[in-house]
Chain A
Amino acid sequence: MRRILIKGNEAIGEAAIQAGCEAYFGYPITPQNELTEYMSEKLPQYGGRFIQAESEVGAINMLLGAAASGARAMTSSSGPGISLKQEGISYMTGMELPALIVNVVRGGPGLGGIAPAQSDYFQATRGGGHGDYRVITLAPANIQEIIDLTSECFWLAELYRNPVMLYADAVLGQMMEPVNVKSDNLFSKYRTRDKLPKVWAASGQKNRSYVNKLTSLYLEPEELEKHNLKLNKKYDVIKKKEKRFEIINPGAKYFLVAYGIVSRICKLVVKNARERGLNIGLIRPISLWPFPDIAFENVMDNARSFLCVEMSMGQMIEDVKLAVDGRAQVFFYGRSGGVLPKPNDIMSVIEDKMLKGEMIET
């Protein structure tokens, strides 16, 4: 075991290659360009195909085609580009095609800025495009986790035949951190997971006795409803099995709720606050959809209030409120436009809102 220093965007690329990615389709957009550049250089060396598409619309539809033909494939972008990809994502969920879509989130709306944000949470977790569908969304908080989740995303996509989104942000994409490398020069833990057999893929009939036809078109209302019920059943299984989260200090009375880079700032706040004698913990969703509402059940007996901290004007807080379901107070602190919440500011909110009128317990 040794450690190497690697940039987040490049870590996604290397982890994807190690996880057996066969095709990548990209279009330049900051702050994820290092990933596109990395794949252009490295993927062909491993026999995969890299295409710089004419647009994000082109890229997502190339991904649709590669996935339909059975390849393990991916695309990446940031907010404005992910908006353009929504058409293809909707079709892919309707056709039940597995693929990895990476969003290195920047601030919006519109062209917004290129600084880190978490303001694409609604877009990622509510479907994003047209129709009744869901996309599994995983949010890493450090570069080691980026690596693990990148290969996990491919696996989940193929297991459930559904697109999966790796939802990072500009900090995670741009920062460098040390990660573990095993003796065989690999750092991706799912390398050994073979691709599941894709008997459904439109890969050319060849030795099959049947042909495969993939479509999301169901003109008969009853047929489309049947299809949507089938998809929904799958989403129910995902909700049951794939909720991922981390809890720090599960017996605490006050909880911060945060994901991605913000959760790391919150970890520091929790550490500092506990040193001051505050009984405070952290819930960190790793899967944004399915939202890990069960994490809240684990702490609800002692929990008095929750403070949701986001780099948005308040998006995940809706899921937090649904999970808490009126059983405790839920507060919000958000920064937007690329501004990171500072530990002291979060501490002030804890003091002003959560602890107001309450004795500090040691």
Chain B
Amino acid sequence: MHYCPGCTHMTIHKILADTIDELGIKEEAIGVAPVGCAVLIYEYFDCDMVQAPHGRAPAVATGMKSANEDNMVFTYQGDGDLASIGTAEIIHSAVRGENLTTVFVNNAIYGMTGGQMAPTTLIEQITTTTTKGRNSKDHGYPYKISEQIANLDGASYVSRQSVHNKNAIENTKRAIKKAFVAQQNKEGFSLVEILSTCPTNWGLNPKQSIEWIEKNMLPIFQTGDLKTTD
């Protein structure tokens, strides 16, 4: 176990692994690991896994689907990986309508490198590169990339969820399942963004971190389905 105490990566890992088991897709599943805290996700999953360069997971997954379109391919990416360095790859995978599923973990900060500003960092949030708090004049605005992806014709299912309480966890599980089913039905690109904690780099204890999601993240990153084919 390499995640910090109070980090919700493990909760999300468990939801994802449970979903793979429940859908019975372990033998077709290939996961693509990001660069960031979740780089070692391949250690925790009992299915084929590949580690991608920073931000490139959706391109790698696209290549895997080209090799075998019947495989169930998912990427697991943080906010720096997906919404900063990998913006082109995630957007264009959705533009092409690739039958992929992306689990996008948004904790509003760069975790592994020590707490720098991420594209999803909130206004006034303190990070090691915004020590006086992020301000829009110098640092721009929090990037709601899921809303942008939901607007693309190639995206079939886009949802934002959280894991700050039991209800949120259940909603997250339903969303991930729906995303994989969309891939199974070859409906196009599917993505579930999940609001997640970073106690270490937020400078909060686990309990405070959960409260920080509720108080600060939920008003900006509102949860719910952003696009669905239902």
Contact = CB atoms under 8 A, between A and B. Distances in A.
Interface of A: 22-23, 25, 49, 51, 53-55, 57-59, 61-71, 73, 87-88, 91, 95, 202-206, 211-217
Chain B residues touching A, range: 35 or more
A25 B93 CA distance: 13
A204 B29 contact: yes
Interface stretch (B53-61, B126-134, B143-151, B222-230): B53-61
A38 B49 CA distance: 33
B66 A71 contact: yes
B92 A65 contact: no
A206 B27 contact: yes
B51 A203 contact: no
Chain B interface secondary structure, helix, strand, loop or mixed? mixed
A61 B86 CA distance: 11
Nearest to B46: A211
B212 interface: no
A87 B39 CA distance: 17
Given A64-B63, A65-B32, A214-B50, A205 B27 contact: yes
B88 interface: yes
Given A54-B88, A204-B71, A215-B33, A69 B63 contact: yes
Contacts of B62: 51, 58, 62, 65
Contact of A65 (B49, B64, B96): B64
Most buried by B among A58, A59, A61: A61
B153 interface: no
Contacts of B52: 61, 64-65, 91
Given A22-B67, A54-B89, A205-B29, 8 more contacts: A65-B59, A69-B30, A69-B68, A87-B53, A204-B27, A204-B28, A211-B47, A215-B51
B48 interface: yes
B202 interface: no
A65 B48 contact: no
Contacts of B30: 69, 202-204
13 contacts: A25-B66, A51-B62, A51-B96, A53-B59, A58-B92, A61-B60, A61-B89, A62-B59, A65-B52, A73-B63, A202-B30, A204-B68, A215-B51
Interface of B: 26-30, 32-33, 39-40, 42, 46-53, 56, 59-68, 71-72, 88-89, 91-92, 95-96
Contacts, number: 140
Contact of A49 (B26, B29, B40, B66): B66
Nearest to A71: B67
Contacts of A202: 30, 48-50, 64
A213 B46 CA distance: 9
Nearest 6 pairs of A and B residues by beta carbon: A65-B63, A69-B67, A61-B59, A65-B60, A66-B63, A71-B67
Given A57-B88, A217-B39, A65 B28 contact: no
A54 B91 CA distance: 9
Contacts of A51: 62, 66, 96
Nearest to B27: A205
Nearest to B61: A65
Given A57-B88, A61-B89, A68 B53 contact: no
A338 B66 CA distance: 36
Contacts of B47: 205, 211
A61 B51 CA distance: 11
A69 B49 contact: no
Contacts of A212: 48-49
Contact of A203 (B59, B66, B68, B89): B68
A73 B67 contact: yes
A333 B45 CA distance: 57
